[in-house]
Structure 1
């Protein structure tokens, strides 16, 4: 799923309220067909074609709006002009600030599993970052998307489950967490200018956005207290075919640190009441953990195909 956070747009099909300077909006996944369509295109202020995905990892501020276009600037001063000959801005949803949740979570937090984040600096170059469980991130704000966001996972969609991503669902008014992570490291990437992008990325990609299904997703995926990195590190030492022997005795918290939040829906309290946790991945790989008295008594691994 591609997420673009913008300021001051209107949602196509909404009440049609006028765009307001300072209002924050989310630009959902933009199909390539829409980018080149006659009804909505993206350019620079000089009319050159622009890819909105390049602007996706940061806030854009509405600089001006006219019937035929709206113009935005990002933190680096780059301009994105959304051209709308028919007066409609598509795939957009307003974002409201969640004051209470922001106050509750603002500050240092730690992610279960690893937090992976891709920063797109130019087309088609990108840089991937990873934050491990023992490394702190800094939560800045919590927002709520006033619309339906497709493809959101019960786990966080930027990789708390590391290799695994459960079946995504349509999220009604999901949360969007704005965070920074001074300790994250570039782990790879691709496209043109990769080496130059890797050099520039730490100073440019200072803010990330994490979509979560609901308020329960905060407790499922983030911790106010530091997390031990040992379960994550030990996970990669598991001999193949010896999952039960390796994980027997691990607590549910150990498994969450190593694998992230499981596939099962529900609040953290509901998850902790379950005796079976599953992790299924896009390549049909899976892990299944059976607990008794809060500790692993059986672990299964394999492929579903």
Structure 2
């Protein structure tokens, strides 16, 4: 694990003067170093680790990010923990940061201000201690580096002459994952029943994010088709080409069965495809996982 930080710091500037294509350090940043981080994660099905030395050419500040796939699976949007190396390789930050591409595309000249305001909002939802840095300096004039500086929520800094040992590094990674998970829970805006315990609220929010994850939803529809499993409504038959390949995915796994901090999803068992009406109605049941009860209600009204 120690070479995760040390090798880029010691060798990146040298390798940056060489060809980008097929460079061994660039390959390590893409493959070996993300794999090292993956090995310390408790749930490798939920988290995706990605490293980048640049696209087509060397970047000023290489990075290695950990994505919760229920929030984002790309560095372009959302928020995530990321190792950000300074351009002069004098040190590296572990930062809970924001994807900047989507914000830059939407807000243009105001992107920095938007990222700073969002960072303040995210901080308000976390317990921050004295070791957490609220500002970072990547020693780069690159536009994306400046945006990552603005997007920093909290960070830890490791100077090149005082890098953490393996135990300290793993501890910090797990600490930032804990903060990441807390931010995920606190940033999910849903109506909750009064009287839920803290664990029940977390399970409810996890259920909410799984059901609305577009990547999972797409796989569910591809696997199960586009006919409502409760009332057999077919959007294509009713609306023609307008309704082609339209259906909604519903997460069937009872909230009480969800494990906090990890999940295993079975597309065929844990989900149903429902028309818009049935999807709304199943959420009115005492048990929104009971598709058999919804079918019985539909049958009884015919």
Length-normalised TM-score, structure 2: 0.29
Bigger relative contact order (CA 8 A; separation at least 6) = 1
Length-normalised TM-score, structure 1: 0.29
> Which structure shows the higher strand fraction?
1
> Which structure shows the higher helix fraction?
2
